[in-house]
Amino acid sequence: MAFPTKATHQQTRARNASIVLRALFESGPISRADVARLSGLTRTTVGDLVAELLEAGLAREVGRGPSTGGKAPILVELVDDARHVIGLDLGEHVFRGAIVDLRGQVRRVVEQPVTGLDGDAALAVVYELIDTLVEAGRETLLGIGVGTPGIVEATTGTIRGAVNLKWQDLALGDLLRDRYGVPVRIANDSRAAALAIQLFSGRRSGNLVAIKVGRGIGAGVVLGGEVFHGDGFGAGEIGHVVIDEDGAECRCGRFGCLETVASSRAIEQRATEAKGATTELTLDEVHAALDAGDEDVRRVVVRAGRYLGQAIAGIIGVLDVEYVALHGSVTDLGATWLDAVRDEARRRSLALTGGAVAIEIAPPIGDLVVMGASALLLTAELGLAVAR
Ligand SMILES: [Zn+2]
């Protein structure tokens, strides 16, 4: 590793610009004096940098704030739609692309079903969606962020392996950079979602674990405000950790993975068996039966919740983060499921018994993967980092 050397003038300036932008992002409308006070930068430096942001159209003046004795100061705020990024969620059944502004607001969405598509055909859909969105405004496009299933080399954007899409060592980052000529960030979808929850849920802690519980199960870990990828880019891949030695065969070839006991498919299959139904129950039907007080179905749901709670206890035992956010289709099952998750996690974990760790269903803040993929870009390009 290179020994860190003194920052160049340019690096210092870029860092300061990013600090000012972030002050406007988090605290605007705000006076230049307050930006200086918040950031520790001199008033002259802040004045120069704000002038540049105004010039670039990234900030604007919006009247005067309350006077603190002298002349009332002019307030400055971020222009939310001055730039935009394209965010993509390469979901299980649908690929979704969106134009997202600097504030993380989704301005436009396009989507395409991809059931049964993989390989080059799936890649063609990615191009098609981005082509459509790029047309909406190339001049203000900052870059492209993509949340994809599978193991992703975060540094290069190469997808090492996404089983369902049959993508193996696909250099998606390079392909998109070459085709569109803008910065590109690619992340595993669970991690993108974790970042979105961190940024947009309004919680100020820099640490969290966000677990998607749908057909697949995966966790995203955010530590100190940053997504933790792991040495092999596999951090949070809890879905294929064996949790039931005598369990059923998993799509990965192992037996008794967490996905075989706690995913939406596992719940649907068990509920179908429990009711002796001839066609497989959907998650919605399981939910309806639960609401109707069906005891067999309740047992199935509680069992699935407990297995997830067991996995969470292990995670908290290592990381001791104060917030575990759950999202994905299974969270629709509501309180019965959530209580089982919490009870089992608490039963198995010392850190959890004190009740300091909140295990909650993530707030409904939109397409988490799209927002997280966009946030990766905003953070990388503008330094609009998470609140800490
Ligand atoms: Zn597995």
Q: According to the model, what pLDDT value does residue 350 have?
A: 73
- Give the distance (Å) from ligand 1 centre to CA of residue 265: 13
Q: According to the model, what pLDDT value does residue 127 have?
A: 97
- Give the distance (Å) from ligand 1 centre to CA of residue 340: 22
Alpha-carbon distance 23 to 28, whole Å? 7
- Give the distance (Å) from ligand 1 centre to CA of residue 248: 10
- Give the distance (Å) from ligand 1 centre to CA of residue 81: 42
- Give the distance (Å) from ligand 1 centre to CA of residue 268: 17
- Give the distance (Å) from ligand 1 centre to CA of residue 243: 10
- Give the distance (Å) from ligand 1 centre to CA of residue 257: 5
- Give the distance (Å) from ligand 1 centre to CA of residue 292: 32
Q: According to the model, what pLDDT value does residue 383 have?
A: 67
- pLDDT tens series, the chain, 388 aa: 556 566 677 778 878 888 888 889 888 899 999 999 999 999 999 999 999 999 989 899 998 888 777 788 999 999 988 889 999 999 888 999 999 988 888 899 999 999 889 999 999 999 999 999 999 888 889 899 999 988 899 889 999 988 778 899 999 999 999 999 999 999 999 999 999 998 887 777 789 999 999 988 999 999 988 888 888 888 888 998 999 889 899 888 899 999 999 999 999 999 999 999 999 999 999 999 999 999 999 999 999 999 999 999 999 888 888 899 999 999 999 999 999 999 999 998 876 666 678 999 998 888 899 999 998 888 777 766 433 2
Q: According to the model, what pLDDT value does residue 137 have?
A: 82
**Model pTM?**
0.82
Q: According to the model, what pLDDT value does residue 41 have?
A: 93
- Give the distance (Å) from ligand 1 centre to CA of residue 242: 7
